[in-house]
C-alpha cells in the first residue's frame, strides 16, 4: 500500500511539473520598430480596410438551422448597389456565407473579394460559431446582377440563397 501511495504522489508531482509553464519569453524591445511591423501587409488576402464602405442600407439575413431545416431568412433578397448585407447566425451553426467563384463574373469577383473581410477561402466568409455572431458584406461597387450564395457546411442540406443587386 505504501508503494501505491508513493506512486500516486510521484505521478501527481510529475504531472504538475509538466504543466509548470517553464521559462518566460524575453520581453520585446519596444524602443525601435521591428522590421515586420514596418513591412507592408501582403496583398494575397484583402484587408477589411480595402472594403468599399456601405453607402446605402444594411439588410439582415438570418442563418438558421432547426427542426425545419437549414436556411437563410430571407433566402432571396434584392438590394441596391452600395447596400450591405449583415448575415447573422441564429441557430444550427457553424454557418458561413460563400459565393461560388466559378459562377461570379470577373468584374464582380474582384469587388466581392475586396468587400469580404476575414475570408476563410476564396469568396468564403469566416465561420460563425455562436448565436448572434454576424458577418457583413458590402455590395458597394458590385455590378448589377444576381449572385447565388450558400453556407459551406450545410450546402448538402440545401442552405442556399440569392442576392440580386440592382
Indicate the domain borders of the chain. Answer: 58-165
Task: Identify the DSSP state of 71.
Answer: E
What gap in Å lies between CA 137 and CA 116, rounded to an integer?
A: 5
Collapsing DSSP to helix, strand or coil, 77 comes out as strand
Residues 71, 64 contacting (CB under 8 angstroms) = yes
Structural contact between residues 85 and 111, judged by C-beta atoms closer than 8 angstroms:
no
- 58-165: what CATH class? mainly beta
- The predicted pLDDT at position 160 comes to 97
pLDDT of residue 41: 33
Q: Which of 83, 120, 104, 78 is nearest to 112 (CA)?
A: 104
Q: Smallest Cα–Cα separation from 70: which of 51, 88, 93, 52? A: 93
Tens place of pLDDT for every residue, the chain, 166 residues? 454 444 444 444 444 444 444 454 445 444 444 444 443 333 333 334 578 999 999 999 999 999 999 999 999 999 999 999 999 999 999 999 999 998 999 989 999 999 999 998 899 999 999 999 999 999 999 999 999 999 999 999 999 999 999 9
pLDDT of residue 27: 53
Cell of 90: 441564429
Amino acid at each position: 500500500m505504501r508503494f501505491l501511495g508513493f506512486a500516486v504522489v510521484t505521478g501527481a508531482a510529475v504531472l504538475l511539473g509538466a504543466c509548470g509553464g517553464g521559462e518566460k519569453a524575453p520581453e520585446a524591445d519596444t524602443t525601435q520598430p521591428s522590421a515586420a511591423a514596418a513591412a507592408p501587409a501582403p496583398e494575397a488576402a484583402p484587408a477589411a480596410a480595402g472594403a468599399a464602405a456601405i453607402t446605402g442600407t444594411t439588410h439582415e439575413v438570418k442563418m438558421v438551422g432547426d427542426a425545419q431545416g437549414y436556411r437563410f431568412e430571407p433566402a432571396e433578397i434584392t438590394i441596391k448597389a452600395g447596400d450591405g448585407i449583415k448575415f447573422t447566425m441564429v441557430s444550427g451553426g457553424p454557418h458561413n456565407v460563400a459565393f461560388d467563384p466559378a459562377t461570379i463574373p470577373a468584374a464582380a469577383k474582384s469587388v466581392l473579394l475586396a468587400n469580404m473581410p476575414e475570408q476563410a477561402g476564396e469568396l468564403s466568409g469566416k465561420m460563425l460559431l455562436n448565436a448572434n455572431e454576424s458577418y457583413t458584406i458590402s455590395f458597394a461597387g458590385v455590378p448589377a446582377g444576381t449572385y447565388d450564395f450558400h453556407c459551406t457546411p450545410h450546402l448538402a442540406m440545401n442552405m442556399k440563397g440569392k442576392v440580386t443587386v440592382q
